[in-house]
Chain A
Amino acid sequence: MSALLKLEGVQVFYGASQALFGVDLELAEGEVLALMGRNGMGKTTTIHTLCRMLPMRYGKVWFAGHDISAWPSHRAARLGIGLVPEGRRCFPNLTVTENLIAAARPGYWTLQRVHEFFPRLGERADQSARTLSGGEQQMLAIGRALMTNPRLLVLDEATEGLAPTIRREIWEAIGALKREGHSILLVDKALAEIKTLADRCAILTRGEVVWTGAPGDLDAVVEARHLGV
């Protein structure tokens, strides 16, 4: 089976300083891959690179059989990379509905289906996004990515900074998406949830993938070396 997403030797620089030192990563259709690592190890940089929001100096990004290394981000998004950015990042001055329809592309996910999936977005349809709670904004960000009918959902710290009950709701939503067969690339620090959800984990350290494997193989030694603070 060929990979849905493939990164080959991706090197990214911020000015003179190098952030990614040849990242290799593969994600199969229907797979949930967790990208892990301490802060500042290049997780968000990797995500922004594969969404084509950051220029690469070396390496290639393949998605759904296309070499998208030189594509602008809106084309990558249309091909099916649906990003839920870190810190929610809705369009604060647009209403909930406007946030959703702005991203709409034809497919399974429609306004109605997103409302069924997150009933609270239906209740707040005409409110501007800035008046939503953090959890609701997160639901909106996920809903907005779903409206693009992505082939791959990319979740960057989707539960960061949320109250525990809201986190549980979001994790349940991600679990439901996995059960429906969505391919998901996940960045998060919640080890317990990752271990139950992810099919595979990849750990980034200083801009390189240093460990990949099943979540069951994440033992105390690996955790202490690559994830412990």
Chain B
Amino acid sequence: MAEMRREYILNAVIVAALFAVPLWALMAGEPFIITLATRVALLALAAVGLNIALGLGGMVSFGHALYFGIGGYAAGILAHHAFSGTPVAFGIPGTNQMLVIWAVAMGLSGLVALAVGALSLRTSGIFFIMITLAFAQMGFFFTLSWPAYGGEDGLPIFVRNQFPGVNTMLPWELFLLSFAVLLAALGLFAVLRAARFGAALMAIRQNPDRAAAVGISPFGVKLTAFVISGMLTGLAGAMMADLTRFTSPAMMAWTMSGELIVIILLGGVGRLCGPVVGAAILVGFETLFGGWTEHWQLWLGLVLLGAVLFARGGVIGLLAGREGHG
């Protein structure tokens, strides 16, 4: 009980900090820090998506960069055609409206996750990890050899896409938009976890046969979770492409999939605000040590090693204690 209350307070502090730091930067005139906070929010959003599959469902997807990249390319391609005034295909025009782009990004990511999940969820353990990785690598090499959209050079977004009532060119407003979407995703995660769906998903993770004996379809529930997971990560990819105004095959690289897993491990697997903490640590290391040495990932690796060896529940586990269900 006390631990649950501690996690509530900790979550509130984390979310407040993610809001307060860029607010301070706004007043101090440090737009770069606002952009960093936006990056944290969007990586966290991508990881909240993965946390549904990995944290609640125990599905170690090593291919979530695929959905991140699909989202990124959805934003890049639609914006590219809106800018050049050419149709995407079959006379369908491009668009620079984020709401449309997000819907397309989530729809495509969801469809691909449905196909990938339907095939890979028939396996488990190392085979599941490898199959999800293989699908992501297929996406990676496809975009690499897709000259229409920049191939390995990637695709720039010349003018950031638009959202009604928001000036997306202003770092602070783009941050607020990203922060709001992250909050919505965290809300969705909390609702799913508290609902029958979340309980069923966690029950399957513990024992699929036992879950089936009480009427839970392991395959159906896991596939649903996998699709929702892919859609959220896809949304994050679309927004990240708009933040960096660039989309490239690197978004689909296996290192991206790895980063999302690292974020969750650092923050705490299955914990509501684990992805936010993990993303903050990752971006922090990237910024602090990235300017100083190319090998910043070595330091991140050491921290990850420490987390895995000494704090299995990640930072949230360390500060709020073990969850009733871990």
Distance between Cα atoms of A101 and B171 in the complex (Å): 43
> Contact: B212 with A98, CB < 8 Å?
no
> Contact: A53 with B203, CB < 8 Å?
no
Q: A68: CB under 8 A from chain B? A: no
> Contact: A74 with B218, CB < 8 Å?
yes
- Which listed residue (B4, B206, B211, B216) contacts A93, Cβ 8 A? B206
> Which of chain A's residues have a CB closer than 8 A to the CB of B1?
126
> Contact: A103 with B214, CB < 8 Å?
yes
Distance between Cα atoms of A127 and B216 in the complex (Å): 22
- Which listed residue (A77, A78, A91, A147) contacts B206, Cβ 8 A? A91
Distance between Cα atoms of A145 and B212 in the complex (Å): 12
Stretch at the interface among B19-27, B39-47, B107-115, B194-202: B194-202
> Contact: B202 with A74, CB < 8 Å?
no
Distance between Cα atoms of A94 and B1 in the complex (Å): 14
What is the size, in residues, of chain A's interface with B at 8 Å between Cβ atoms?
31
> Contact: A126 with B4, CB < 8 Å?
yes
> Contact: A77 with B324, CB < 8 Å?
no
Query: CB within 8 Å of A: which of B218-270?
Result: 218
> Contact: A102 with B200, CB < 8 Å?
yes
> Contact: A92 with B206, CB < 8 Å?
yes
> Which of chain B's residues have a CB closer than 8 A to the CB of A73?
209, 212-213
Q: A61: CB under 8 A from chain B? A: no
Which chain A residue lies CB-closest to B216? A74
- Given contacts A94-B203, A102-B203, are A85 and B324 in contact (CB under 8 A)? no
> Contact: B196 with A104, CB < 8 Å?
yes
Q: B325: CB under 8 A from chain A? A: yes
> Contact: A94 with B199, CB < 8 Å?
yes
> Contact: B324 with A95, CB < 8 Å?
yes
- Which listed residue (A72, A82, A144) contacts B212, Cβ 8 A? A72
- Which listed residue (A75, A102, A127) contacts B214, Cβ 8 A? A102
Proximity string of chain B (181-216) to chain A, C-beta cutoff 8 Å, 1 when within and 0 when not: 000000000000001101110110011011111111
- Which listed residue (B200, B202, B214) contacts A77, Cβ 8 A? B214
Range, interface on chain B:
20 to 34
- Given contacts A77-B213, A83-B213, are A93 and B200 in contact (CB under 8 A)? no
> Which of chain B's residues have a CB closer than 8 A to the CB of A102?
196, 199-200, 202-203, 211, 214, 216
Q: B326: CB under 8 A from chain A? A: yes
Which chain B residue lies CB-closest to A97? B199
- Given contacts A102-B203, A126-B4, are A95 and B325 in contact (CB under 8 A)? yes
Q: B162: CB under 8 A from chain A? A: no
Which chain B residue lies CB-closest to A148? B215
> Contact: B196 with A94, CB < 8 Å?
no
- Which listed residue (A72, A75, A99, A127) contacts B203, Cβ 8 A? A99
> Contact: A85 with B215, CB < 8 Å?
no
Min CB distance A72 to B, Å, is 7
Q: How many A-B residue pairs have CB under 8 A?
A: 86
Distance between Cα atoms of A147 and B214 in the complex (Å): 9
Q: A212: CB under 8 A from chain B? A: no
Min CB distance B308 to A, Å, is 19
> Which of chain A's residues have a CB closer than 8 A to the CB of B195?
101
Which chain A residue lies CB-closest to B209? A53
> Contact: B326 with A74, CB < 8 Å?
no
Distance between Cα atoms of A73 and B214 in the complex (Å): 8
Min CB distance B152 to A, Å, is 45
> Which of chain A's residues have a CB closer than 8 A to the CB of B137?
none
- Which listed residue (B196, B210, B218) contacts A91, Cβ 8 A? B210
Proximity string of chain A (57-100) to chain B, C-beta cutoff 8 Å, 1 when within and 0 when not: 00000000000000011110110001101000101111100110
Q: A44: CB under 8 A from chain B? A: no
Min CB distance A84 to B, Å, is 10
> Contact: B217 with A126, CB < 8 Å?
no
> Contact: B218 with A101, CB < 8 Å?
no
Distance between Cα atoms of A105 and B199 in the complex (Å): 13
Proximity string of chain A (191-227) to chain B, C-beta cutoff 8 Å, 1 when within and 0 when not: 0000000000000000000000000000000000000
> Contact: B209 with A128, CB < 8 Å?
no
Q: A186: CB under 8 A from chain B? A: no
Distance between Cα atoms of A105 and B200 in the complex (Å): 12
> Contact: A91 with B215, CB < 8 Å?
no
Q: A20: CB under 8 A from chain B? A: no
Distance between Cα atoms of A104 and B215 in the complex (Å): 9
Distance between Cα atoms of A9 and B203 in the complex (Å): 34
A-B contact pairs, 9 of them (CB 8 A): A74-B217, A77-B216, A85-B210, A91-B210, A92-B206, A99-B203, A126-B324, A127-B324, A145-B214
Given contacts A92-B206, A93-B325, 19 further A-B contacts (CB under 8 A): A72-B217, A73-B209, A77-B213, A89-B207, A91-B207, A91-B210, A93-B202, A94-B202, A94-B203, A94-B325, A98-B202, A98-B203, A99-B199, A101-B196, A101-B199, A102-B196, A102-B199, A103-B215, A127-B324
10 interchain residue pairs of minimum CB distance: A77-B215, A102-B199, A103-B214, A74-B212, A102-B203, A98-B199, A93-B325, A73-B212, A128-B324, A78-B215
- Give the interface of B toward A (CB within 8 A): 1, 4, 195-196, 198-200, 202-203, 206-207, 209-218, 324-326
